[in-house]
Amino acid sequence: MNLFLLPKGICDDLQQIMARFWWGTKVDGSRSLHWLGWDRLACHKHFGGLSFKKIRQFNIAMLGRMGWHLYMNSNSLASRILKAKYYPNVSFLEAPIGNNPSYVWRSIRESQSLIRDGLLWRVGDGNDIAIWLDSWLRMLPSLWLLQPLTLILGSIWFRI
């Protein structure tokens, strides 16, 4: 699951097998009563669920781990091979699908938007900032910040 994107049908089948095991069947083969839906059981324990994994989302998260490795460790052998073949002039986050991609590359690239949406970085000296291309604020209902910016200098608070 951390290298190949499983088809949706297989993910659904695995999830059904897990649900059947959890809910069980009666001795005569009839189905038992389902007290909670699978979406509710898949919620985190703090939210009243049992923290079961949704197989498709778990698969993409595992692929995201491999994508993060390609993005952060550009000197590893796998990173250098995939970069040379599929995205020689850009980073992993801007990599196109390419012509005739392998199933491994298509699978890892499926996690690209997940990584891009969750990525935060420190500005540092500002040399790597692409002002017109980088997303500055998360998708908000409006383009304006709704809360005033608060700066903390030592023990003095400033409201801007």
In a domain, 129, yes or no: no
Query: How many whole angstroms separate alpha carbon 115 and alpha carbon 88?
Result: 19
Instruction: Tell whether the torsion through CA atoms of 92, 94, 97 and 99 is positive or negative.
Output: negative
Instruction: Give the number of domains in the chain.
Output: 1
Domain assignment present for residue 127? The answer is no
- The shares of helix, strand and coil residues in the chain, as percent rounded to the nearest 5, are 40, 5, 50
Q: Quote the pLDDT of residue 158.
A: 45
- Amino acid making up residue 28: D
Instruction: Please give the Cα distance from 65 to 139 (Å, whole number).
Output: 24
Residue 1 domain flag:
no
For residue 12, give Cα distances in angstroms to 35, 37, 55, 61: 20, 15, 8, 16
* Residue 77 covered by a domain: yes
Q: Which domain does 17 fall in, by range?
A: 8-117
| Spatial distance between the Cα atoms of 26 and 153, rounded to a whole number of angstroms | 65
Residue 136 lies in a domain: no
Q: What are phi and psi of 65, to 5 degrees?
A: -65, -40
Query: Could you list the pLDDT tens digit for every one of the 160 residues in the chain?
Result: 888 999 999 988 988 888 777 777 666 667 676 667 777 777 888 888 778 888 898 899 999 999 999 888 888 998 999 999 999 998 888 889 988 899 999 999 998 988 888 776 677 777 777 777 766 665 555 555 555 555 555 545 544 4
Supply 125's token pair.
Answer: 């000296």
> Is 87 part of any domain?
yes
The DSSP call for residue 127 is: T
Strands (E), the chain: 150-153, 156-159
**Residue 96 placed within a domain:** yes
Global pTM exceeds 0.85: no
The pLDDT score that the predictor gives to residue 47 is 83
In a domain, 22, yes or no: yes
**Residue 141 DSSP SS3:** coil
